[in-house]
Structure 1
Amino acid sequence: MRITIYSPEVYTYGSMVVGGILSKKHNVHLIRKPNNALFLKSDVVILSLYSTLQIIDENIKNIVNFIRSSKRKTKVYVAGCVSSYPEIILNELNVDGVIVGEGELTTPNIVEGDTEGLAYWDGNEIVVNYPKEKPDLNHPMPLIPKDIANQNIRGANVYIETHRGCLGNCTFCQVPKFFGKEIRSRDVDLVVEEVKEFKKRGVKRIAISGGTGSLYNFKKSVNRDKFYELLEKISSIVGKNNLSVPDMRVDYVDEDILGAIKNYTIGWVFYGIESGSDKILRDMKKGVSTKKIMDAIKLAKDCDVKVGGSFIVGYPTETEMDYLLTKDFIVDAELDDIFVSIAEPIPTTELCKLVLNTPKEENPTFMRHEGEYRHLNLTESEARCFDLLIHAEMWKSSPRIMTKQLYAIYLNEAKTQGKDIRKITELIFKYKNYL
């Protein structure tokens, strides 16, 4: 059987893993750019989607319609993290089904006609058959594309998954529901062999991730030797300047973990800070306080580790005072880098439900900004995103001069995010009965 996996723009790790499993029995092509000729030659096309926006992307819809109109009767499935909300996909895209959950076990059978792990239309009714088991993460070698070294995801050629699951309860995140709260980790030696193979294919920069890097092999009352061993072995292959562990929770770092980050990686941690308001942190169910976050920032600096932080603005319950507290926090933190996002209501998350229960005229994503940036015609979320980007630049450890060009980049970033979040919000309102 000829199977094409299309992962738009980026070869996601999940698409490579499923590609590797399917290639044991089938002729599999993994692409990140549309290839109509290849689509028409395929018996099955799997769209590996990783963003809600891709569901309503006209380019994706056109690809689906093109494939479905062919005489070959090619089967078309959607997979990826968007499969958490199959009802939306099946209403928006004319596909044969959605591969729900973790697809390593079910996909090989689905392409041959099985329905376990598949959501599909049965007449006028949507049937969702969730998989009965969770897959073993010690899977065969992924299908590595020839041009993998050409892609750049936040500075890395590839993100390699080391574990799944999260202990957190963040309202804006779908990871705990998608993968569960139990931490399931891969064997160190298998990850190392994978890194060697990626290096052979030209990959230089590698990031390892499972949501929160330091949760690898995490169990209560168990030492972290496996985490340190993992970093040391990968670093010996690619070099410390080519390895990063990008995402960390502030409540799962200590001196030993930060020491390993310092010794075996590029020497950066990226904390999900989200807000400088304890009230908003409680609303988000972050499970930490601003004091805990500031202590983790100080600890990293004391260990000579650089600190990046991500912030979310436009949360439905965020007031002007909450936002000002975030600005004050940034002044005190003196972070080395900062990322700002407008709150995204990913379907099935608690934030999604909160947005559905918030009148649009009270939602910062739709409220017109009437303050300092009124002349720019921004929503309140866009204005806070733009303002925080500018503000944060001034209080970084190494600030840049705010040129017209940088100003324009930040303004465009805020407007683009605002436009995208409005599209997603309109989508969830359209299908609120499913959510």
Structure 2
Amino acid sequence: MRVTIYSPEIYTYGSMLVGGILKEKYKVHLIRKPDNILFLKSDVIIFSLYSTLHIIDNKIRELINFIKRANKKAKLYVAGCISTYPEIILNELNVDGVIIGEGEITTPRILEGDEEGLAYREGDNIIVNYPKEKPSLDHPLPLIPKDIGEQNIRGANVYIETHRGCLGNCTFCQVPKFFGKEIRSRDVELVVEEVKEFKKRGAKRIAISGGTGSLYNFKKSVNREKFYELLEKLSSIVGKSNLSVPDMRVDYVDEAILEAIKNYTIGWVFYGIESGSDKVLRDMKKGVNTKKIMDAIKLAKDLNVKVAGSFIVGYPTETEKDYLLTKDFIVDAELDDLFVSIAEPIPTTELCSLVLKIPKEENPTFKRHEGIYRRLNLTESEARCFDLLIHGEMWKTKPRPLTKELYSLFLNEAKSQGRDIKKITELIFKYKEYLIT
């Protein structure tokens, strides 16, 4: 049997992982660009999709329709993190089924005819067979493409998975929904072996993450020696200038963890700050307040670890006062870098349910901005995104001059995000019956 896994534009870790498992029995090809010859020769085609936007992407829709017309014998499945909402996929895309959740166990079984972990249409009904067990993380080496060294995901060629699960309750995040709250960690030596293989295949810069890097091997009242050991061993393979542990919760860092990051990696942390308003942080169920966040920033700086932070604007409960508090927070924080996103109502998250309960005219994603950027014809979310990008640049430790080119870059980024979030919001309203909780 010939299997083709298509992961649009980026070789996701999940697509490489499942490819590595399937290659032990089948002839498997992993691609990030469409290959019609492969599609026509394949018996099974898996679209590994990682963004809600993929569901409404006309290029993906047309590609699926072409495959269904040209290769009528092939089975075509969708997998990936968007599989948490199979009803939307099966209504929008002409596929044979959706592989639900973590696919290491279910994908090989589905290829053999088992229906556990598979959602599919049966007449007018949608049948969803949820997996009954979680897979072991002791799996074969991933299927690593020859051009992995050409890939760039936030500066890294690949993100290596060290663990799954998250203890958080953030309303905008689907990680606990997809992987659960229990922290399941991989053995240090398995991660080491994998990084060696990625390096051999051409990957130079490695990032390690499971959503929050410091949750690796996390257990209450247990020291973090395994985390330090992991960083030390990986650093010895690729060099500290090529290793990063970017994603951190501020409530799961301490001096020892930051010292390890300084000693064994590029020396950066990426905090999910999201807002400078304690009210919005409570609404987001972040589990921390601005004092806790500022303390974590100060601790990192005191240890000479550089700090980047992410911020979310346009959260449905964010008022003008809340937004101004975020601007004030950025002034006080003096971050080394920052990233701004418009709140995305990912289906099945609490944020999605909240957005579905709010009239569109009250949603910042649709509400017209009437302030200082009125002439730019932006929504309120777009205006705050644009404004915070400019403001954040001014208050970085090493700001850049606001040239016409940088101004245009920020404006286009805000408009692009705004268009995408509008599309996703329209989609979830279309399937409100499946999503509201």
TM-score range, shorter chain: over 0.9
Aligned position for 1:429:
429
Count of residues in Structure 1 that have an aligned counterpart in Structure 2: 435
Distance 1:137 1:81 in 2: 17
One-letter identity of the residue aligned with 2:422: R
CA displacement 1:13-39 (0-9 Å, x = unmatched)? 000000000000000000000001100
Letter in 2 for 1:16: M
In structure 2, the partner of 1:81 is: 81
Q: Distance in 2 between matches of 1:196 and 1:95?
A: 37
SS for the counterpart of 2:312 is: strand
1:177-188 to 2 correspondence within 5 Å? 177-188=177-188
**TM-score, normalising length: structure 1:** 1.00
* Aligned AA (1:424): I
CA contact (8 A) 1:78 1:98 kept: yes
1:171 deviates by: 0.1
Structure 2 residue 365 is matched with structure 1 residue 361: no
Measure the CA separation in 1 of the matches of 2:46 and 2:110. Answer: 11
**Residue 73 of structure 1: how far off its partner (Å):** 1.6
Secondary structure at the counterpart of residue 321 of structure 1? helix
Counterpart of 2:385, as a letter, is C
2: CA distance, partners of 1:162 / 1:63:
33
Q: Does 1:26 align with 2:29?
A: no
Q: CA deviation at 1:294?
A: 0.2
Query: Deviation of residue 111 (structure 1)?
Result: 1.5
Note the C-alpha offset of 1:305.
0.1
Letter in 2 for 1:317: T
- Contact 1:19/1:30, CA 8 A, preserved across alignment: yes
Q: Counterparts of 1:115-264 in structure 2 under 5 Å?
A: 115-264=115-264
Q: Shift of the alpha carbon at 1:122?
A: 1.1
Q: Is the 8 A contact 1:40 1:72 kept in 2?
A: no
Partner of 1:317: 317
Once the two structures are superposed, residues 213-240 of structure 1 have per-residue CA deviations (whole angstroms, 9 ceiling, x without a partner) of 0000000010100000000000000000
Deviation at 1:123, TM superposition (A): 1.2
Superposition deviation, residue 113 in structure 1: 1.6
User: Which secondary structure does the structure 2 equivalent of 1:104 belong to?
Assistant: helix
Task: Find the counterpart in structure 2 of residue 418 from structure 1.
Answer: 418
Given the superposition, is the C-alpha separation of residues 202 and 363 from structure 1 closer, same or farther in structure 2, using an over 3 Å criterion? same
Letter in 1 for 2:405: Q
SS at 1:392 equivalent: helix
- Cα distance in 1 for partners of 2:112, 2:56 equals 28
* Cα distance in 1, alignment partners of residues 317 and 109 from structure 2: 45
Query: The residue matched to 1:204 in structure 2 has which SS?
Result: coil
Residues 238-278 of structure 1 deviation map (CA, whole Å, 9 limit, x = unaligned): 00000000100000000000000000000000000000000
Matched letter for residue 85 of structure 1: Y
Task: Render the CA deviation track for 1:176-232: whole Å, top value 9, x for unaligned.
Answer: 111000000000000000000000011100000000000000000101000000000
What are the residue-to-residue correspondences of 1:365-404 with 2, within 5 Å?
365-404=365-404
Q: Distance in 2 between matches of 1:29 and 1:72?
A: 19
Q: Percent of pairs identical after alignment?
A: 83
Map 1:325-336; keep pairs closer than 5 Å.
325-336=325-336
TM normalised by structure 2 equals 0.99
- Where 1:95 maps in the other structure, the secondary structure is coil
Instruction: Please give the secondary structure, in 2, of the residue aligned with 1:194.
Output: helix
Alpha-carbon shift at residue 71 of structure 1 (Å): 4.5
In the alignment, is the contact (CA less than 8 A) between 1:76 and 1:95 conserved in 2? yes
User: Which residue in 2 is equivalent to 1:271?
Assistant: 271
Unaligned runs of 5+ in 2: none
Residue 352 of structure 2 corresponds to 352
Write the distance in 2 (CA, Å) between the matches of 1:49 and 1:347. Answer: 14
Counterpart amino acid of 2:40?
L
One-letter code of the match for 1:398? K
SS at match of 1:69: helix
**What is the CA distance between 1:112 and its match in structure 2?**
2.2
Paired residues for 1:1-150 under 5 Å = 1-150=1-150
Contact 1:158 1:206 (C-alpha < 8 Å) held by counterparts:
yes
After alignment, is 231-240 or 104-113 more displaced? 104-113
Structure 1: give runs of 5+ residues left out of the alignment: none
- The RMSD of aligned alpha carbons is 0.5
Question: Quick one: which amino acid aligns to residue 127 of structure 2?
Answer: V
Q: Secondary structure at the match of 2:104?
A: coil
Equivalents in 2 of 1:241, 1:139: separation in Å? 28
CA distance in 1 between counterparts of 2:202 and 2:308 reads 28
